Amino acid sequence: MYSDPKECLYCTDTYDKLMIKIADLSVSRAFLFKEQTYHGRCLVAYNGHVNDLNELSDDERNAFMADVCRVTRAMQTVFNPEKINYGAYSDKLCHLHFHLAPKYVDGPDYGGTFQMNPGKVYLSDAEYQEMIDKLTAQL
């Protein structure tokens, strides 16, 4: 299934209910998820409306994955999770993006799959901004 770029939340910049933009990267954008059950959860979305990683040229894929690694390195430094889970789900929203969910030994769903949107933990604007400032300093 391919989605229409005119209806895509990444292409139309209508992502603000779910996430906050952190930074523009080389071929993508980094976002902080508003739902923070997994403390420090981020997302990296490719700039172009591409359905799947395999549609990119080798150079485009390498640049995108370098952006993903750049964000996870910043997350590791700022939040120090035990592990970061990667999720590339696009069954309903066909725009290449990776969910980056930090996992902590005594935290939610450690040892299992993270939930897409548990809807349990939301922060104040100041707390989001503090997280974004720390991540930006590491990017």
Number of domains in the chain: 1
- Rounded percentage of the chain residues whose pLDDT exceeds 90: 80
Question: Mind listing the pLDDT tens digit for each residue in 57-87?
Answer: 999 999 999 999 999 999 999 999 999 999 9
The domain that holds 71 is classified in CATH as 3.30.428.10
In this predicted structure, what is the pLDDT of residue 1? 57
Asked whether the predicted pLDDT for residue 12 surpasses 70, the reply is yes
- Token pair, residue 114, equals 């993270």
| Integer angstrom CA distances of residue 18 from 11, 77, 81, 116, 124 | 14, 24, 22, 11, 14
Sort residue 80 into left (φ over 0), alpha (ψ -120 to 50) or beta: left
Question: Is the Cβ–Cβ distance between 43 and 25 less than 8 Å?
Answer: no
pLDDT band with cut points at 50, 70 and 90 for residue 121: very high
Question: Is the Cβ–Cβ distance between 76 and 63 less than 8 Å?
Answer: no
Query: Model's pTM, two decimal places?
Result: 0.94
